[in-house]
Structures are given as structure tokens and as C-alpha cells.
A and B are shown apart, each in its own frame.
Chain A
Amino acid sequence: MNKDHNCKHLLTSLSDYVDGTLDQAICDEIERHLGDCEDCQVVVNTLEKTVYLYHKTADAQDVPQDVKQRLFKKLDLEGFLDSGG
């Protein structure tokens, strides 16, 4: 079926589409297709959401203090621990 072929053909570009890094021509082609294809629209929406969730939940915890201490010791930098930065 032509529609299936088109969907699969565009699938590999959806990640770039979500990032906004596609050539205008392919971007237009995708947007035309999305207007007609609910399935692909769902894939685009959930793909965007997937990336969004990972960004939002990215762990921003610092290195635990004991790990840091061992690191500085190993690097012979003990005198510089907790100085600046």
C-alpha cells in the first residue's frame, strides 16, 4: 500500500523533524503527510513527548561527596578539594 510505504520512508526522518533540523523540502513533505496520516501524527507527538520526558527527568545530582573525595585523592589533588567551582 502506498500509504504504508510513505510512512516507513518518513519514519527515519521524524527524529530530525522533531529537532527542527530537516531540509525544508523534506520538512514540507512530512507536514503534508502528517495532515493525512493520523498514525504518523501520533508517532510524532509521542516521539516529541518521549524526548521531552527524558529532558525533564534528567538527573542533575552531583557526584556524591565520598566519590569526589576518593577521586581527588587518587589524582593527588586533595589540597584542592572544595576550592572554587
Chain B
Amino acid sequence: MINSEDTKQEFSLELLREGNKAEFARLVETYSNVIYRLGLKMLEDEQDAEDVLQETFIKAYKALPNFHGRSSLSTWLYRIATNEALMVLRKRKNKGIPVSIDEPIELEAGEMEPLQIMDWCCMPEEELMTSEAVDYLDQAVSELPESLRVVFLLRDIDGLSTRETAQVLDLSETAVKTRLSRGRLRLREMLTVYYGERMAEKKEIYDGQRT
């Protein structure tokens, strides 16, 4: 898990606001990894992720003179980066009407259907984390609607708190929790189907060997 503790360095707001290049370079050095990774997970395209990375820091540099430290630097940077990534997603969708991420999510028809109930926790870790399974984990995240995906990425992958995530996305903390819950439950569903198939395959092989 990306440890946000590692990125809690002290920066001189004064120097940053003055446009001090050395201090800004330190900021870029500190946050470029997490921002690039966030872009990659949101957009699944290296070029787009690189664009988001560049745009984030270009905008940050321009906006720093007016940054008053009401939120933390990291929250502020995440906010810029997340908005950049969401803009790319919207452009891709090519909709005329901008989609706000705090639109109420309609409950889909399938949302309250019976859950997949199968306990795959007993599977050994090396089976749960084969390279194929890890690829599937990524794929499952990419299949989440963006409003749920972004919350999941910020909370569970980037380790931001509920409060920080709410600030980044301009949502209430309740909305963050609701979306995280929905995102996690959907991922659980997808993983249950996937691991269920793996378990069934294994059983077939085992049964085949016994006869």
C-alpha cells in the first residue's frame, strides 16, 4: 500500500508561493510517483497519465502564489490531479453535458440482487495473487463506474482518509463512505465470480486425477 506517511515532508509555503524552483522541484519529486500512479489507474493509458502528471504540476505552479494552506499540500495536489483525470474521462465519453462526480448515483437494477455467496477466503495466498489474478484485480477496478473508482483509488490504494478524500472530491464524508462501500462491494462480487471459477477449475483437475 502506498504509504502517505512517506510523503509528509515539510515544505516551505513561503518559498513555494514565491515560485522558488528548488522547493517546487522537491514538491514534484515527492508527489510525482503517487500522481502518476493515480492517473494510470484512473485512465489506464500511459500517455494520458503522463499528460495528467504534467498538467497537474503546471497548474500547481501557477496556482501556488495563491495557495494559502487551508488544506494540506497533498490534498490540494490530489485535487488538481483527480480533476485532470476526470476531465480526460469526460472527453473520452464525448458527452455534451458535463458529468459531475457528485451526481447522485442511480441504483442500478442489479444493485440489490442476491449477492454472490461463496467463501473464497480459504484459497492460499499464492493462488489469490497469481499474476493473472493480479491483472484481474486491476481489470475489476477499471470496470467500476468512475464515481466509485476514484473514491476507491484515493481511499484504498492511495491511503487518503475519508476526510482528505472528501476534500479532494468536494463531497461530503458520508458520500465518500457510501461510494467506497459500493465500490468495494462491487469489487467483492467480481472477485467472488473470478475466484469461484478458479476454485471450480482446481476441483475439476483434482476430481479428474482421482478417477
A residues adjacent to B (C-beta < 8 A): 8, 11-16, 18, 21, 39, 42-43, 45-47, 49-51, 53-63, 67-68, 70-72, 74-77, 79-81, 83-85
Chain B, interface residues (CB within 8 Å), range: 35 or more
**Contact assessment for B28 and A16 in the assembled complex, using a CB-CB cutoff below 8 Å:** no
Beyond contacts A46-B120, A72-B28, A85-B26: 18 other A-B pairs, Cβ-Cβ < 8 A, are A15-B177, A21-B162, A42-B119, A45-B119, A46-B121, A49-B128, A56-B1, A58-B157, A60-B2, A61-B37, A67-B36, A67-B46, A68-B32, A71-B53, A71-B54, A79-B21, A80-B25, A83-B25
Contact A12 to B28, CB < 8 A, known contacts A67-B53, A71-B53, A75-B61 = no
Q: Which of B94-134 contact A (CB under 8 A)?
A: 112, 115, 117-121, 128-129, 134
Q: Does B198 contact A (CB under 8 A)?
A: no
Partner of B188, one of A8, A43, A81: A43
Interface 1/0 per residue, B13-24 and A, CB below 8 Å: 000000001101
Residues of chain B touching chain A, judged by Cβ–Cβ distance below 8 Å, are 1-2, 21-22, 24-26, 28-30, 32-33, 36-37, 46, 50, 53-54, 57-58, 61, 112, 115, 117-121, 128-129, 134, 137, 141, 156-157, 162, 177-178, 180-181, 184-185, 187-188, 191-192
